[in-house]
Amino acid sequence: MATIISGRELSKTKKANMTLQVEKLENKYGRRPKLSVILVGDDPGSVSYVTGKEKACHEIGIINQTIRLPEKTSQEELLNVINDLNNDPLVDGILIQLPLPKQINQIFVINSINPTKDVDGFHPENVASLYLKQPGIVPCTPKGIIEVLDSVNIPIEGKRAVVIGRSNIVGLPVAKLLCDRNATITIAHSKTKNLKEVCLNADIIIAAVGKAKFITADMVSEGTVVIDVGVNRDPETGKLCGDVDFVNVEPKASYITKVPGGIGPMTISCLMENTIECFLKHMEVK
Ligand code: NAP
C-alpha cells in the first residue's frame, strides 16, 4: 500500500499561508498583487482551468482580472492587449491560457510578455534562468511536483528519476529541477525504446504523457515513488484520470499522487506563489 500524497491538502496549507501573506503585503505596500489572465476562445478545458485560477485568487485575496477574447481574435489584437498589461504598473502577473487558436503564434505571444510578469515561467528569459540556475520564475507544475516530493521528505539526491514526457511546460523543466537536486535523470518520450525496462529501473517516476492509464503495474517496481501529472478522460467512464493506472500501480508504489487532487491543485497554488513573487519584485524595483 502506498502513501497517497495529497496535493489538494498541501495546496490548502499553502493557500492559507499566502492569504496571511497577501494581507500583510497590502498593509505594507498599500495594494494587493494582481494577476491578469487572458482567455482566447471558449474551449471548455481552458474555461475550467481559468475558473480554477479565478477561484484561487479570490480565496487568497489576489486581485484577478480575466480578459475574455473571442476565438477569432487576431495575433495583433492579442499582442496589443499584452502590451497594455505589460505597461500597467498595477498588473504583477500575466497568464495566457494555452492553447491559443490556430491563427495565433504561441511562441510569439509568450515572447511578448514582460519576463518580470511571466507567472508561468515560459518566457525564454525565465527558461534560461532555470537552466543557468539564476533567479527567475519557475514553471508552476514542475515547481509543484518538487514541493510534493519534499512535503513527505522523499530523498531525491542520488535517486534514479524517470520523467516520461519532454514538453517545455512539464517534462523538461521538472527533469532540470530533479537534476539540480542531484537525481540521475532519464527523460523518456514517444521514441523511447523499452520504456517498461526504463521505468522498472526508476526510484521516482514522473508521468507527464497525456495518455489515460498509460503507466501500468508491470512498469513499476515495488517501492517506486509515482507522481502522476496527466489530466485525461478515462475512455471507459468518462471521468477525469491521470497517466497512471492508479488502482493497479498504487499497491506497488511507496508514494503516489492521485488525479484529481494531486499535481493539479499544486500547479494552481504555485501560480499564486509566482504572482506574489512577481509583485514583490515590482515593489523592490520602486
Ligand atoms: P505534451 O506537450 O503533449 O507532451 C507529452 C509528452 O509525452 C511528449 O514529450 C511525448 O513525446 C510523450 N509521449 C507521448 N506518447 C508517449 C509514449 N507512448 N511513450 C512515451 N512518451 C510519450 O503534454 P504536456 O503539456 O507535457 O502535458 C502532459 C500531461 O500533463 C497532459 O495530460 C496534461 O494535461 C497534463 N498537465 C497537467 C498539469 C497539471 O497541473 N496537473 C499541468 C500541465 C500538464 P514526444 O516529445 O516524443 O512527442
Residue 229 makes CB contacts below 8 A (sequence gap 6+) with: 141, 145, 165, 170, 206, 207, 208, 242, 243, 263
Phi and psi at residue 88, to the nearest 5°: -85, 115
Structural domain spans, the chain: 30-114, 140-263
Q: Tell me the one-letter amino acid at 58.
A: H
- pLDDT one-digit tens code per residue, 201-247: 999 999 999 999 999 999 999 999 999 999 999 999 999 999 999 99
| CATH number for the domain formed by residue range(s) 140-263 | 3.40.50.720
User: At residue 260, does pLDDT exceed 70?
Assistant: yes
Cα distances (angstroms) measured from residue 170 to each of 57, 127, 254, 268: 23, 12, 23, 14
Sign of CA dihedral 7, 97, 177, 252: positive
> Residue 187: its pLDDT value, please?
98
Q: For ligand 1, is residue 267 a contact (CB within 6 Å)?
A: yes
29: its cell numbers:
505596500
> Residue 95: its pLDDT value, please?
98
The closest of 277, 279, 211, 276 to 245, measured between CA atoms, is 211
> Residue 284: its pLDDT value, please?
86
> Residue 169: its pLDDT value, please?
96
User: At residue 131, does pLDDT exceed 70?
Assistant: yes
Ligand 1: centre distance to CA 210 (Å): 5
Three-point CA angle 118, 124, 130, nearest 5°: 85
User: At residue 144, does pLDDT exceed 80?
Assistant: yes
Query: Would you please indicate which residues are annotated as catalytic (active-site) residues?
Result: 53, 97, 120
Ligand 1: centre distance to CA 62 (Å): 30
229 vs 189: CA distance, rounded Å: 15
- Quick one: pLDDT band at residue 282, thresholds 50, 70, 90? very high
Query: Is there a contact between 19 and 60 (Cβ–Cβ < 8 Å)?
Result: yes
Average pLDDT over residues 138-161: 98
Q: What is the DSSP string of 151-177?
A: HTT---TT-EEEEE---TTTHHHHHHH
Average pLDDT over residues 262-286: 95
Q: For ligand 1, is residue 185 a contact (CB within 6 Å)?
A: no
Average pLDDT for the chain: 97
Report the CATH superfamily, name and number, of domain 30-114: Leucine Dehydrogenase, chain A, domain 1 (3.40.50.10860)
Q: What is the DSSP string of 36-66?
A: EEEEES--HHHHHHHHHHHHHHHHHT-EEEE
Average pLDDT over residues 128-153: 98
- pLDDT one-digit tens code per residue, 77-102: 999 999 999 999 999 999 999 999 99
**263 CA: nearest ligand 1 atom:** 41
> Residue 19: its pLDDT value, please?
98
262 vs 259: CA distance, rounded Å: 6
- Quick one: pLDDT band at residue 285, thresholds 50, 70, 90? confident
The closest of 82, 83, 92 to 116, measured between CA atoms, is 92
User: At residue 112, does pLDDT exceed 90?
Assistant: yes
Buried b (16+ CB within 10 A) or exposed e, 211-248: ebbbbeeebbeeebbbbbbbbbeeeeeeeebbbbbbee
84 vs 263: CA distance, rounded Å: 32
- pLDDT one-digit tens code per residue, 46-75: 999 999 999 999 999 999 999 999 999 999
Ligand 1: centre distance to CA 98 (Å): 14
User: At residue 286, does pLDDT exceed 70?
Assistant: no
Query: Is there a contact between 224 and 192 (Cβ–Cβ < 8 Å)?
Result: no
Cut 0.95: pTM above it: yes
- Alpha helices of the chain — where are they, by DSSP H? 7-29, 44-60, 75-87, 106-111, 124-132, 140-151, 171-180, 195-200, 246-249, 263-285
Q: For ligand 1, is residue 2 a contact (CB within 6 Å)?
A: no
Decide whether 30-114 matches 140-263 in CATH topology: yes
> Residue 1: its pLDDT value, please?
87
Which of the 8 DSSP states describes residue 138? P
Nearest CA, atom 15, ligand 1: 190
Q: What is the DSSP string of 89-113?
A: TT--EEEEPSSPPTTS-HHHHHHTS
